[in-house]
Amino acid sequence: MVITVERNNTYFIWLSFFLYATITSIAVQFVVLPYFYPALHAGDGLMRTLDSPEFHLKALETYTSSQKIGWSAWPLSGESRGIVNVISFFYIATGVAKPWVLIPLNAFLHASAGTLLFVLYRRFFASTTSAAIAAAPFVFFPSSMLWYTQLHKDGFVILGTLSMLLGWVTLCGITSFRNEWQKSFISIIQIPFGAGLIWLMRPYHAQLMFILSILIIIGLTTILITHWRKDFITTKHVIKKISFMVLILLAITPFSKGAPLISYSHEGACRELTGGPNLPCDEEKFKKLQSAVTTALANSDSITFGKKSEVTKDGIVVESSSKIVKSLKNKSIDEHLVSVLWKEENIFPKLINDRFISIAYYRSYFLRKYSEAGSNIDANIHFTSPADIVMYIPRALQISLLAPFPSQLFKKHEKKSSLFMYRVVLFEMIIVYAALLIFPLAVYRWRSRPEFWIITGSCVVILVFFGCLFVNTGTLHRMRYLYLMTIVGIGIIPFVDYLSAKLNLKWHKK
């Protein structure tokens, strides 16, 4: 009877979230953007400042081709193939090449993600009502409209991430595999499903979740061994749980591949940039190159890599014998830039060093991509070594949790679109700041629960990663949304429980 009531509550919450997302999407695409914010409207209910119009046009090309050659035009390969293939599939299947045909799918993704977050809170931390209130910011904050009312990857990635997190904490809470075999089976299905969904849209994020899964397994194994040594659990239970975790790790391993990493070697970088692949490294010229690039960055000059070494009015052109880069939008500029500035250290193994240099490379890419944006933070920071990244971690977490800062929120904005977005974010950040102030109470309350540390630890790691990567607060706010809102929800629960107990409300123990 209790299980039936619990399931009914979950179904009702999912349906409420789904109807809300559907109605909001229809309103945004057909009324709000065309009539209230035409400057933001790119046509067909899509926002001009997002990638949605580009995804729509690519999917439209596939749809047009399918009209001539049929389904052989689908699927596409290449960059953004995941989201474009999904959009074009619905266009071809329905015969209607309009973004509104994706509204039910986007509403389903958002409602399902909100419901998984509710289940996560309900199962481990809160009453039904407290869990629903804690999940509300994630579902109802206006920022989430940037993907569930549009054509974007975020809905898939968010649902996949929550699926993986719920799977791991469910496995963590299993005390008897014989009596809780359903939970074990669900975890084995849920985690690989989430990893696959993430990989379909963002392979680099799937790789990040794979690394997190390894850290979770190490943490849970340590706890299991500690409990076993104290005779809290049997040897058989330890072996079974570790076996399950290894099985799951093997299942998600294929999704850890596909994300590009930058591999660095000082000798190779020096040869390429000062002589050529088959010529020796010219250390003196390389040092001059480092000095010139460092000066250009300090002066905020643009940097281009060409055939001749010469200073221009726009910045500095430095020599590259193997590649000539003419466009500032070419990623290889960033690869060259990091190669020039990177200081190799032997503290970490090459596998970890390559990930550090990949972070430096992509930060360089985003610094240049958003060089003209007015909402950048620490745009003068370039990573030149693993030590730089490690030292930046506290700052990255501060930015990911608290940005945009009050000084950014209250400054004057010339563009109406920027003013509108900052007003929306201001409302959200007031609640975020309040929840973060309460969050230490949640830490004290659930400090002995492994599930709490799996959830918050995963969120903090990803927030630090995004804080190192993204310099533009608009992009950062969208990318960090799930992880920040998860922490915010956990911070809300103690406050809601305290308030309901103080007012003697009946539902706070249900």
The DSSP result for 253-294, as a single string, is: GGGG---------HHHHHHHHHT-TTS---HHHHHHHHHHHH
CB neighbour list of residue 409: distance below 8 Å, 6 or more residues apart: 422, 425, 426, 429
The gap between the terminal CA atoms of the chain, to the nearest Å, is 14
| Cα 292 to Cα 325: distance, rounded to the nearest angstrom | 18
Could you say which DSSP state residue 317 is in? E
| Cα 5 to Cα 108: distance, rounded to the nearest angstrom | 22
3-state secondary structure of 42: strand
Could you say which DSSP state residue 47 is in? E
Residue among 390, 391, 330 at smallest CA distance from 365: 330
CA 28 centroid distance within chain: 24
Could you say which DSSP state residue 306 is in? E
Residue among 184, 73, 164, 61 at smallest CA distance from 120: 164
Q: In this predicted structure, what is the pLDDT of residue 141? A: 95
| Cα 188 to Cα 183: distance, rounded to the nearest angstrom | 9
Residue 66: both structure tokens together: 């399918």
Q: In this predicted structure, what is the pLDDT of residue 358? A: 83
- Cβ pair 95, 120 in contact under 8 A: no
State phi, psi for 207 to the nearest 5 degrees.
-65, -40
At position 162, the amino acid (one-letter code) is L
| Cα 457 to Cα 463: distance, rounded to the nearest angstrom | 10
CB neighbour list of residue 230: distance below 8 Å, 6 or more residues apart: none
- Cβ pair 476, 403 in contact under 8 A: yes
Residue 259 backbone class (left: φ over 0; alpha: ψ -120 to 50; beta: rest): beta
Residue position matching structure tokens 């509403």:
107
Residues in the chain, pLDDT under 50: 1-5, 305-332
- pTM: predicted TM-score of the whole model, two decimal places: 0.86
| Cα 510 to Cα 506: distance, rounded to the nearest angstrom | 8
Long-range contacts of 391-396 (CB under 8 A, 24+ apart): 392/468, 393/464, 393/468, 395/467, 396/463, 396/464, 396/465, 396/466, 396/467, 396/468
State phi, psi for 66 to the nearest 5 degrees.
-65, -25
CA distance to 315, 327, 424, per residue, from 298 (Å): 11, 21, 34
| Cα 235 to Cα 228: distance, rounded to the nearest angstrom | 7
State phi, psi for 304 to the nearest 5 degrees.
-125, 145
| Cα 336 to Cα 332: distance, rounded to the nearest angstrom | 6
| Cα 305 to Cα 336: distance, rounded to the nearest angstrom | 8
State phi, psi for 272 to the nearest 5 degrees.
-65, -40
Q: In this predicted structure, what is the pLDDT of residue 284? A: 75
